[in-house]
Structure 1
């Protein structure tokens, strides 16, 4: 997936306090922690007004899978980081270090660390000289990751840390993700963090924040949330780890991190001190004046720590900036299961056949795509109960879609286009893994289109084949569009209100980036709405830039994107992340595939040219309708697409044998449970089980506490998004989870489950803010008189048998303990509602 040019920094992911001068094998790299304490006082000259305190933060950030695999990274350098850091911390009680990603630390802990080193780590943690920051498996990407995965990887890491060391991370260190999503501060606040640090944001935005002293702020990631989800956020300044590229460097390393010096101005003689020597007070002396000048310059970009800038950044105010699968056997909570018997012999006539056998294929002649040809004369309707599609038989392209609920017809057609990319750095900007830079507008690649329609009782499929040349034997692109005919006895509102499209794209020609563009007559003024990590939708208005305007108007599509006019909306739902844009009025285009090569030394050295000759088959669901109808349907439809039911070919006996249940666990049958339409079971898992780096070993040997489950319930709608569905919804957890056994108690927990909310006291901030749209903490309606059936809770909480609203929590987490339990598969897994 590409990210956008203005968000790219040319420096490498960096390590602090790393000593690797003149080494030939990175396995020899040794991590030093400075003799100097983490807080350095630099006294200025006599004419200076005072003293500036500098805080040096020795830390690690190691990508879990980049150009090397996790195993290769462990062998090359990652294991040695923790070995040498532990060694160096023991050399002075004033030395401190923060560790970020748990994947590498766990591997070191499980397979490398000795008993002595483990004891040393425990002591360092107790003394506060080693600290875990973020605490997830990785420093997750913010642009294209999905909310479920973010929560899962964070939960894995937090569970390990709490079980192993009894510690709970309280701060983030997001120095490396490209861009800053508004979802991240929400997730971190709900996980119990007190502060958040970001770095790689749009250069222009960061410059504006520096000039206006806005690098520090209190961030509220959603308009639906209140003060209890605010989080203090610090933005690293423009220099971040490195100096401006125009400054000269000597042959000797300065403060050297992967070859990039730290401070923006060299000493007066233009030569940095030789940092190949151990870091000491003497070796730091020559740096002190330069460092002081630099920090003094940076200090002007921030308010003092006594008067923090009183401002809340709401995502809606800055819109342009920002599986494993399992067969769920929990009674009452799984998908409905259908058993389809297949015939073993051909049907004698159509009336004897099951619907899976009924299908009539109608083929159409290949048509030349010619804009000058008269169109819209011979239109073929294809319909179900919700939509009528009209196909132009003179082009074999889509002509229009009619929403049968409202009678509104939208002119709509689709085409594949390609952006041409430059591959020679001497000829101008290039496209690669990180950057999308086109040579010009996208070019239509199809000269002819073939079509056939397969008509069935349950599904009608339209197949369109796109050819580069009129005489080509093989097609280059395919669109499969499916309309579902819902049986009368089935509640298929969501099924009826979607056009399922599957594409076949590739292999591409070299230096091509393929998009599917949908043209409509909606007057959207080139404005598109896209989601952040499958959580919330933001408005993206088209902007013109001095350079690379096409790419800078692309945004991540993780699950949802739509365009709209005053009355009608067209929604795209995706099962994976893409780039999406509205480059012209009424248009929406999605990047589907890329094949690139360039001669940039960096890309060649790390194999980042993306010379991908594969064929991809992405799937989208399209929805057309009024704003109220699509608002009600797209959140649940997006989840249904992402967590599609598993279709399995099995030989199931008529009376399957029942294996004995573990001692102390009963088998409970419960009636199916339907949640209110604005709530979603985000996950159901068994918390607190011991982690092993060997997953197979973990599943085999783990001793789960089957008496506890961690339940996350998510409200799907923002405040004021829908007049009805945005309201709190009533649920009864006793009824909801009756299929798991008899509930003994319920606790409300932090997002990752490690904090009881009654014990979590996060930092609070006094800000000059507007009145909240949602409820404040002290406005939550308690229900002390209601009978929950869960026994006595530590704290009264209305959601046990009451109302759950997005304005209090977008995601509420419960820890439930059972007297008796049914058996549940020992993974953390997503459970979806009935679709």
Structure 2
């Protein structure tokens, strides 16, 4: 029987719900008095409650005039040159003068002095901190400013996320966190209407798709390729309709998008912050330095001067002639400005007054305080048609030799830590729901997921996971993530203890990738608990550091599990640097149920063999399992071919490591150096590290390994597990040598016989795939000036090349940059160590070291290779990428388990269909759960799985009874059926297709390709 969470119609309304009883007899059930913010769900305020916020708060414009929208704003990086804490408090001003708390103090004070003034604020992470420190009186004052539209929130996420190196699930999480706080605090008037990404270094199509599904009416950004901008200025196409999905029915993923004229800075000569040098407006005619006439003249010149289309004009000039309407926007602010807001507002008041006085002399310019949403409203009222955009805005270059493609890989260790932290956070949130209240306060103490949620949200910032911050700030991001892990570990221990009935302490080994785990190295008997956060069963290889030579392993049903012991490789022993002393690794395959765990018991055999078989010091002719066959060149020790035995496909395939010599700026064409942001090799031909590899080979019933050494600082294991459809390449790079005074950008390159014709494919934030063509941009005729860096793109989870017969896919374990420079080739950048700053603000070279690696950071990672026919490749690489993004969590308990311990558990009643991904399971409030279901295939991507699919919510969880449900928008800050967006017309003249039909019942949820649906569930623990 249908159970629905009813929507609030006023602050003091009662909620009623129908709920299903065991015999499906419906009855009316009184739920609770739903006060504002009780559940943190959308508050549906009536117009009388908020008559002036949002679009209603906009100042009137003047028809027939050029209306100049001045937008006072500050751009407050959530960490960059200083840590988040340092920025908030105004600490370490010797690095950068910035104090966010003083900005908000000053802005609120100045807004109160003139009701015409406006201000927008973006970064909820900072505003949340400031809000908590305010008195009740100040909070009420700020609420009044918000309700009157004088203080407006735009974007509203915890941070302004990077768009190249973030995974969509983490972006959705951080947006949800920020928007929920604004919703709980300010209700309807706190909801942003505009997405605002003024600083990220290129823009992803998937971000636009997510923003559209979150209910934003428009999107504004500042950075795009200089060639693209120049063309758009001439064609007056700086505002467009971005069709951000090839699968979702328009206008579901359509987003009006505008490019700001000055990046996000004020026009030249009109900056009035304490950090600016521009002269103030001196308006006393009795004083010698009176300059009003000069200021007005310069201002009018900037916006109305005649445009010569034959010139390549810089963006700040001639705004009126490069946009389509009689409205233009000016961003009046910049990084950490308005700490003394009086400076800005005093001069802006004068600018508005004196420019508008010219109307009496025939001027047709009208200047007003405004916000991005007010500007957007005027564009909508113009009722024009707009050009369509279907691709994305990567890569970004700000001049001919300055491609911002290095940060796709910068700080690869932090990028990996962020990715596995996302996986751990999803597991933590799931177990918080499945465990109920005991998860947060149980036998192991008080645990929480909030600490890791906030740390992960901060890590999405465009100077965090991007790798473009100072070293001490990167360290701080990692410290915050580690602190979040510690809080979640208590929660996870509590839940697993409750579900299993075992109070044995849980042990977490966070360095298994380098074979370090004190418990497994010393214990003779222990258990391994494998929790799977996916909604389908997974098979996962486990490698544990041990010092014994033989072990017996049994699964949850007591069945013996095949295992092997192999020696720890020389590369692993070297990279550990004394943090572990295991001489061997115990290998076995585990199976874990959906949204659940399975427990394996491990015992040391006293009478095992004296030592595991030693590796053979030669290259094999081939290694194979029932799915794949891999051949090696016996002379070089390198890969030579890859075969799919199921489909009878074979491609020639070689793989090796190279490095580009990073430009030091001593170049006749440009002085640009490679740095944290910019990738600029000084030649188009990389240096090969070694033409041959030293080889060791291991082959047993669990795995076949070919261990390759290319140099003292580059090694790799080519690994094929018995039941795997993917070939694993585990690479270890570092310390990158710089004794030759050369910065190095290290790549892994695959060269195949596939006829890729200059085309390759990359994912966008882990979701939809985009086609990339060498030396080509879909929307303008590219003048290529950097043949390597200008063909690099972000790879968030996978990339592939293909022809009519074969598709070679590489799944990555973190965000990396890569390209296809030659036909049949795919290269991925692994590590960067540079000697110069690229002069983009960070002020230090990307030269990572640590206490453990003082001579340079060592990075280890994995690439998974699959070979399939193009028609069925997605059936392999999508679930494979998903397993890497959401990998199982492995925990340990020492000694023998109690006989009553529950060794296996699944939080689902049944496995979900292969097309369905359980994207979010998160505790919302005491009795409510946030659920997101995702169709993970694109339209026409898979003959089998690119079809609509239906899930019954009542038959979903094994530990929860469903009492009520209501559908939300993607960011969970609006009811789905009340979400309205501005409609926009494309120049193609096409009309939006009708909206999707309803589900057969509220419990039966249908999903179309690439669709994400978000629900708030009222639940009861069983």
Query: Which bracket does the TM-score occupy, shorter chain normalised?
Result: 0.7 to 0.9
Distance 2:754 2:533 in 1: 39
The 5 A counterparts of 1:86-485 are 86-111=108-133, 113-166=134-187, 167-225=190-248, 226-237=250-261, 241=265, 254-256=270-272, 273-274=279-280, 286-296=294-304, 297-304=318-325, 305=379, 307=382, 309-311=384-386, 313-316=388-391, 323-324=421-422, 325=424, 326=427, 328-329=430-431, 330=434, 334=533, 347=550, 355-359=562-566, 361=613, 363=615, 365=617, 380-424=621-665, 428-440=671-683, 441-467=685-711, 475-485=712-722
Residues 804/513 of structure 1: CA separation in 2 closer, same or farther (3 Å cut): same
Matched, 1:500 2:731: no
Q: Which residue in 1 is equivalent to 2:983? A: 764
Secondary structure, aligned partner of 2:385: coil
The 5 A counterparts of 1:813-824 are 813-818=1014-1019, 820-822=1020-1022
The 5 A counterparts of 1:534-549 are 534-543=766-775, 545-549=783-787
Per the TM alignment, residue 208 of structure 1 is displaced from its structure 2 partner at its CA by 1.3
Equivalent position to 2:993, from 738, 758, 776:
776
**Contact kept? 1:706, 1:821, Cα under 8 Å:** no
Per the TM alignment, residue 568 of structure 1 is displaced from its structure 2 partner at its CA by 0.5
Secondary structure, aligned partner of 2:919: strand
**Contact kept? 1:563, 1:569, Cα under 8 Å:** yes
Per the TM alignment, residue 479 of structure 1 is displaced from its structure 2 partner at its CA by 1.1
Secondary structure, aligned partner of 1:437: coil
Size of the alignment, in residue pairs?
A: 685
Q: Which residue in 2 is equivalent to 1:619? A: 862
Q: Which residue in 1 is equivalent to 2:763? A: 531
Matched, 1:801 2:809: no
Q: Which residue in 1 is equivalent to 2:883? A: 640
Per the TM alignment, residue 482 of structure 1 is displaced from its structure 2 partner at its CA by 1.7
Q: Which residue in 2 is equivalent to 1:61? A: 75
Distance 1:805 1:600 in 2: 45
Matched, 1:512 2:749: no
**Contact kept? 2:201, 2:224, Cα under 8 Å:** yes
Secondary structure, aligned partner of 2:657: strand
**Contact kept? 1:364, 1:450, Cα under 8 Å:** no
Secondary structure, aligned partner of 1:579: strand
Query: 1:447-489 CA deviation, whole Å, 9 max, x = no partner?
Result: 541111221212222211112xxxxxxx221111221113xxx
**Contact kept? 1:333, 1:672, Cα under 8 Å:** no
Matched, 1:712 2:926: no
Per the TM alignment, residue 655 of structure 1 is displaced from its structure 2 partner at its CA by 4.4
Q: Flag structure 2 segments of 5+ consecutive residues without an equivalent.
A: 1-56, 91-98, 285-289, 305-317, 326-378, 398-420, 435-498, 500-530, 567-611, 777-782, 850-855
Residues 222/338 of structure 1: CA separation in 2 closer, same or farther (3 Å cut): closer
Per the TM alignment, residue 418 of structure 1 is displaced from its structure 2 partner at its CA by 0.5
Q: Which residue in 2 is equivalent to 1:373? A: none
Deviates more, 1:157-166 or 1:326-335: 326-335
Query: 1:2-56 CA deviation, whole Å, 9 max, x = no partner?
Result: xxxxxxxxxxxxxxxxxxxxxxxxxxxxxxxxxxx996989xxxxxx96322111
Q: Flag structure 1 segments of 5+ consecutive residues without an equivalent.
A: 1-36, 43-48, 245-252, 262-271, 367-377, 468-474, 487-495, 659-667, 688-704, 789-796, 823-835
Per the TM alignment, residue 79 of structure 1 is displaced from its structure 2 partner at its CA by 1.1
**Contact kept? 1:311, 1:767, Cα under 8 Å:** yes
Q: Which residue in 1 is equivalent to 2:963? A: 744
Q: Which residue in 2 is equivalent to 1:562? A: 800
Residues 50/439 of structure 1: CA separation in 2 closer, same or farther (3 Å cut): same
Per the TM alignment, residue 644 of structure 1 is displaced from its structure 2 partner at its CA by 0.7
Secondary structure, aligned partner of 1:292: helix
Secondary structure, aligned partner of 1:173: strand
Distance 1:193 1:83 in 2: 28
TM-score under structure 1 length normalisation: 0.76
Per the TM alignment, residue 231 of structure 1 is displaced from its structure 2 partner at its CA by 2.0
**Contact kept? 1:450, 1:464, Cα under 8 Å:** yes
**Contact kept? 2:675, 2:838, Cα under 8 Å:** no
Distance 1:458 1:565 in 2: 33
Distance 1:437 1:181 in 2: 22
Distance 1:362 1:309 in 2: 73
Distance 1:633 1:677 in 2: 11
Distance 2:393 2:844 in 1: 35
Distance 1:362 1:655 in 2: 38
Residues 527/320 of structure 1: CA separation in 2 closer, same or farther (3 Å cut): farther
Q: Which residue in 2 is equivalent to 1:579? A: 817
Distance 2:960 2:551 in 1: 49
Q: Which residue in 2 is equivalent to 1:732? A: 952
Residues 512/686 of structure 1: CA separation in 2 closer, same or farther (3 Å cut): same
Deviates more, 1:671-680 or 1:434-443: 671-680
Per the TM alignment, residue 349 of structure 1 is displaced from its structure 2 partner at its CA by 12
Distance 1:591 1:670 in 2: 39
Residues 463/681 of structure 1: CA separation in 2 closer, same or farther (3 Å cut): same
Residues 425/255 of structure 1: CA separation in 2 closer, same or farther (3 Å cut): farther
Query: 1:727-749 CA deviation, whole Å, 9 max, x = no partner?
Result: 10121111113x24221221110
Query: 1:730-770 CA deviation, whole Å, 9 max, x = no partner?
Result: 21111113x24221221110111111112111111233447
Residues 452/419 of structure 1: CA separation in 2 closer, same or farther (3 Å cut): same
Distance 2:120 2:628 in 1: 56
Secondary structure, aligned partner of 1:650: strand
Secondary structure, aligned partner of 2:706: strand
Residues 211/645 of structure 1: CA separation in 2 closer, same or farther (3 Å cut): same
Query: 1:165-199 CA deviation, whole Å, 9 max, x = no partner?
Result: 21222211111111111111211111111111022
Matched, 1:73 2:87: yes
Deviates more, 1:219-228 or 1:68-77: 219-228
Q: Which residue in 2 is equivalent to 1:628? A: 871
Secondary structure, aligned partner of 2:197: coil
Residues 163/782 of structure 1: CA separation in 2 closer, same or farther (3 Å cut): closer
Matched, 1:593 2:609: no
Residues 446/133 of structure 1: CA separation in 2 closer, same or farther (3 Å cut): same
